[in-house]
Amino acid sequence: MFKLYRYLEPLDYNFSFPHQMGEMADPIQLKDEGNERFQAGELDKAIECYTKAIKLCKDKKVLAVIYRNRSAYTCIILCSPTAIDVDATDVKALFRRSQALEKLGKLDMAFKDVQRCSTIEPKNKTFLETLRRLGAEIQAKLKTTFSTDSRVQNMFDILLDEEMDKDKKEKAANNLVVLAREDAGAERIFQNNGVPLLLDMLETGKVEMVLAAIRTFAGMCTGHKARTMAIIHLVGIDKLCSIMAVDNEDIALATSDLFQCINDSLTGGDRRTYGKEEALVLDASKDLKSILLALLEMVASKKVSGHGRDQALNLLCRNVPRKDKKDHDHSKSLFTIDHGLKKILKVCGQIPDLPDQLPMTENTQLIASVLLDKLWDDLRCDPERDHYREVCKFDPNDMDRNIHAINALSGLLQGPFEVGNQLVGRQGIMEMMVALCGSEREVDQMVAVEALIHSSTKMSRASFIITNGVSLLKDIYKKTKNEKIKIRALVGLCKLGSAGGDDYSMRQFAEGSTEKLAKQCRKWLCNSAMDTKTRKWAIEGLAYLTQDADVKDDFVEDEPAMKAMFELAKSKDKTILYAVACTLVNCTNSYEKKEIMPELIQLAKFSKQHVPEQHPKDKKDFIQKRVKRLLKGGVISALTVMVKADNLLLTDQTKEMLARVFLALADDAKDRGTICAHGGGKALIPLALEGSAIGKIRASHALAKIAAVSNPEIAFPGERIYEVVRPLVSLLHPERDGVQNYEALLSLTNLAGLNDKLRVKILKEKALPEIEQYMFEDHDHIRQAATECMCNLVTCKEVQDRYLEDGNDRLKLLVLMCAEDDEKLQRAAAGALAMLTAAQKKLCTKMTLVTLQWLEILQRLILHDQPQIQHRGLVIVYNILNSDDNELAKKLIESEILEILTVIGKAMDNPKRQLVIDVARTCLVKAMDLGLIKPFTTPS
């Protein structure tokens, strides 16, 4: 392009023509001179002649000829449109421009010009031959240009070109990542020297280049064991770990995803199959062991950034403990305990305020605690647990390491509490904590107070600390000027003050003390000048104190404090999730509470046993007011962000609490629209699919409440609507309570009424037998909901086939339900029967065989006061007449049904009942067509 412009530049200036040319004033002579120069091969001179002639010529026809001649020179392509503009049918100009474009490599443009030429002169063989040739060349070029190999090479060329535009590089990087996600593309990248080129991208050190390379490797490793092993050996595990160790959150996360892809491919976690490559793969256990050892080294290495350490711990959490306890192989957990437990404890024992500590994020130590808990939970026998405890022990006489040991103990108390609790019970440990509280060094006080907070979970420990440590905590709170220590001391007092839980009669402190503590917590929570980690402790305090109903009421009335907590819940510090979830569970009273029989209460009072008392403000009307305040304060947006947290700190226990909160918030049907509008429906889906058994049930129930009264397409937009089906079907179980069954059936009815794809999805989740079972339920509402759901499902062939089967009472049940007094049940059953008999003519005959009362039931339907039920009955009548069973049709017309049809059909048009009247008339016409009745004729 630049060469072309450079050549044309002289055309804007005066040329030095030969003397005789300067004397010429006739454009025709100049044209002829140009022709002679062109024939002689003097192209530059020819252009000069043509250009001079163009300036002088006034005749349009001659001007078109001059332009056409000048366009013969291929590089004058920019001037040729002028000739065509003068005469659009000038095929010579078009053809010459086509030739020029072809030489410039513009095959598509050349093809269009020749196509116009062939349109003007369709019999010109030159044009037709050129058209065929250019078409073939274009196809070949396209094939080459768009082949995978060419695309891969082009992308690498762009990415490794230092002078290339940034936008083009970003686009090429994204294209490479997308291409690697397809097996064919991943294979071509691998075969076309892709690994060395990707390593070159890693060496650039540029964040966007490194991310593109890592994500491309992840695509190449996904689901392909042989290719994964080759990449590991070509790149090296140490190289990948060094990349994950850099202080960049995005790179650390992308490398973690790559390691996960590698693990899934080598262990078979990715179930996809790609050809027969597995037969060629050697044992991957050595590589998996090397990766595990490398990750354990990263955990305690000072060269690893906080983000890298987090991702190493996350990978260990995901892949070391067994996902299924039925799997007997827990060798990875035992190996990790032997080679890495002390390293994980070292992370827990780090104190950021001291010098020379490991680089960590705000989440690192809590992730380490979660890993400790998962490893403990994965052990199978007492000797293994004894070994775990032995590794965790420390010598209380080693004063130089006391502060780190106490901090590690806090980590154990937040993870495998049983281990931590046993260590706290060892002689001298509690005394050591109290002694550290009295230390002059502030960091000692801070660590000791945190340990006291975590160790006072058990009532026996709380009692010890209440006796021995309350005055100490109060003293620290009053005297220290360090806000970080002050707030921790306050949280310690909060936890001790709430040791009685929600039992109104078990208050630990004097009347009004908990409210004062909560007020101070709210004050700190609203202080935006404080760092997030310190303000987090204010929420910890509220998580304990909100077990008191007075504190709950005060908190939801304090809108700034409530909104401050919601904003903190959206922050990067995910250690806050559990405390926020606890606070919300307390405020909504959505915790598990056993119902105590009145007789047992009387018996306990008689035997002088302690009887828990409910706070007056924990009654239903107070709870509802608190829920409204939370919704108004923006709790849903905070919950949706918390659920999205891609972090192991969103534990199953935290998920369960969030599910409980959602269920409490969705209790009032009027609030469900608000929940959907702020993304609550979307947020509930992952909670219903993953987590603890109780958590999944609670989230599924909340989904059912929403889908039962909302438009599912609005509540769960796009493809998410199909993800809702499985959680709803999970509620159709005998162990679930009746409300859960009922609301799940209502929701499935709504979904089944939308489209065939959703109906098929419901059937694939094996919901049909459960729905049929609930149609036999004694409870009227559940039976009605199940029948309505079946009414929406009968359009599916699979459902129709079940009703065609012999040896069951499905059809009989529907027919008998049409005679029920419950109008809603009657309408649903009649609708299902109408659709079934319309889709399967055999069912018309079968319907008359399942019960002798069929005719009486049919008459009752078509005489019903409700137009909807009457209409369904008339449709069934029409289906019988249209069933090809002449004997049955004759029997129907010979009954009182003919008289009923005649009365309805002769009625005057009525907008409210027109549908019924029209169907009755259609039935009469059908009977006349069958020759069962004669047309009405007037006497002559």
Residue 438 has pLDDT above 90, yes or no: no
CA of 481: how far to CAs of 195, 436, 442, 477, 501, in Å?
57, 17, 10, 9, 31
Mean pLDDT of 464-471: 62
Residue 529 has pLDDT above 70, yes or no: yes
Amino acid at 457: T
From the number of C-beta atoms within 10 Å of its C-beta (0-12, 13-18, 19+), residue 400 rates as exposed
Quick one: pLDDT at residue 444? 82
In angstroms, the first-to-last Cα distance of the chain is 95
Quick one: pLDDT at residue 22? 40
Pull the structure tokens for residue 170: 């970003």
Q: At 5, is the pLDDT very low, low, confident or very high (cuts 50, 70, 90)?
A: very low
Residue 505 has pLDDT above 50, yes or no: no
In the numeric block, the tokens 């890592």 are attached to 214
Residues of the chain with CATH 1.25.40.10: 27-146
Quick one: pLDDT at residue 664? 94
Contacts with 113 (C-beta within 8 Å, 6 or more apart), sequence order = 94, 95, 97, 98, 101
Contacts with 29 (C-beta within 8 Å, 6 or more apart), sequence order = none
Helices (H), 146-284: 148-159, 166-180, 183-191, 194-203, 207-221, 225-235, 237-244, 249-267
Quick one: pLDDT at residue 375? 93
- Give the three-class secondary structure for 510: coil
- Residue 615 or 611, more confident: 615
Task: Compute the radius of gyration of the chain from its Cα atoms.
Answer: 40
Mean pLDDT of 710-731: 90
If you write DSSP's letter for every residue of 875-886 in order, what string do you get? Answer: HHHHHHHTSS-H
Domain 393-401+419-497 sits in CATH 1.10.150: no
Amino acid at 392: C
Widest Cα–Cα separation across the chain: 135
Quick one: pLDDT at residue 844? 92
Mean pLDDT of 801-829: 90
Residue 323 has pLDDT above 60, yes or no: yes
Would you state the torsion angle of the CA atoms of residues 564, 567, 568, 569, taken in this order, to the nearest 10 degrees?
A: 120
Nearest to 423 by CA among 401, 406, 403: 406
Quick one: pLDDT at residue 467? 60
Q: At 268, is the pLDDT very low, low, confident or very high (cuts 50, 70, 90)?
A: confident
Q: At 408, is the pLDDT very low, low, confident or very high (cuts 50, 70, 90)?
A: confident
Quick one: pLDDT at residue 300? 92
Q: Looking at 204-213, 300-309, 596-605, which range is the least confident one? A: 596-605
Residue 29 has pLDDT above 90, yes or no: no
Q: How many residues does the chain have?
A: 940
CB atoms within 10 A of CB 367: 27
CB atoms within 10 A of CB 791: 24
Mean pLDDT of 619-642: 92
Amino acid at 229: M
Quick one: pLDDT at residue 191? 81
Q: Looking at 23-27, 226-230, 240-244, 387-391, which range is the least confident one? A: 23-27
Q: Which CATH number fits domain 27-146: 1.25.40.10, 3.40.50.620, 3.40.50.300, 3.40.960.10?
A: 1.25.40.10
Residues of the chain with CATH 1.25.10: 393-401+419-497
Amino acid at 102: E
pLDDT in tens, 828-848: 999 999 999 999 999 999 999
Q: Looking at 8-17, 261-270, 323-332, 448-457, which range is the least confident one? A: 8-17
Contacts with 50 (C-beta within 8 Å, 6 or more apart), sequence order = 30, 31, 34, 66, 67, 69, 70
Quick one: pLDDT at residue 477? 79
Query: What is the CA 453 to chain-centroid distance, rounded?
Result: 36
Q: At 112, is the pLDDT very low, low, confident or very high (cuts 50, 70, 90)?
A: confident
Side-chain-facing half-sphere of 490: CA atoms under 13 Å: 33
Amino acid at 415: G
What stretch of H or E contains 69?
Answer: helix 60-70
- Give the three-class secondary structure for 247: coil
Contacts with 275 (C-beta within 8 Å, 6 or more apart), sequence order = none
- Residue 515 or 431, more confident: 515
pLDDT in tens, 135-147: 888 887 766 555 6
For residues 513 and 548, what is the distance between their CA atoms, to the nearest angstrom? 11
- Residue 704 or 393, more confident: 704
Q: At 1, is the pLDDT very low, low, confident or very high (cuts 50, 70, 90)?
A: very low
Q: Looking at 6-20, 262-276, 753-767, which range is the least confident one? A: 6-20
Nearest to 508 by CA among 491, 521, 490, 495: 495
Quick one: pLDDT at residue 326? 82
Mean pLDDT of 288-302: 94
Quick one: pLDDT at residue 409? 84
Pull the structure tokens for residue 383: 């000797």
Question: Is residue 134 a contact partner of residue 114, using CB atoms and an 8 Å limit?
Answer: yes
Question: Is residue 760 a contact partner of residue 796, using CB atoms and an 8 Å limit?
Answer: yes
Q: At 128, is the pLDDT very low, low, confident or very high (cuts 50, 70, 90)?
A: confident
Q: At 572, is the pLDDT very low, low, confident or very high (cuts 50, 70, 90)?
A: confident
Quick one: pLDDT at residue 10? 31
DSSP 10: G
Across the chain, what does the average pLDDT equal?
82
Side-chain-facing half-sphere of 889: CA atoms under 13 Å: 20
For residues 86 and 81, what is the distance between their CA atoms, to the nearest angstrom? 9
For residues 760 and 172, what is the distance between their CA atoms, to the nearest angstrom? 40
Quick one: pLDDT at residue 857? 92
- Residue 82 or 475, more confident: 475
- Residue 375 or 76, more confident: 375
Quick one: pLDDT at residue 612? 60
Quick one: pLDDT at residue 559? 92
Question: Is residue 133 a contact partner of residue 114, using CB atoms and an 8 Å limit?
Answer: no
Q: What percent of the chain is modeled with pLDDT above 70?
A: 84
Quick one: pLDDT at residue 82? 53
Quick one: pLDDT at residue 785? 93
Residue 613 has pLDDT above 70, yes or no: no
Quick one: pLDDT at residue 135? 86
From the number of C-beta atoms within 10 Å of its C-beta (0-12, 13-18, 19+), residue 845 rates as middle
Q: Looking at 247-256, 404-413, 859-868, which range is the least confident one? A: 404-413
Residue 536 has pLDDT above 70, yes or no: yes
CA of 473: how far to CAs of 478, 483, 647, in Å?
9, 14, 33
Question: Is residue 202 a contact partner of residue 241, using CB atoms and an 8 Å limit?
Answer: no
pLDDT in tens, 190-225: 887 888 888 888 888 888 889 989 999 999 998 888
Pull the structure tokens for residue 342: 């002390």
Quick one: pLDDT at residue 7? 27
pLDDT in tens, 886-939: 899 999 888 898 999 999 988 888 888 889 999 999 999 999 988 888 775 444
Query: What is the CA 10 to chain-centroid distance, rounded?
Result: 62
Nearest to 665 by CA among 720, 588, 606: 588
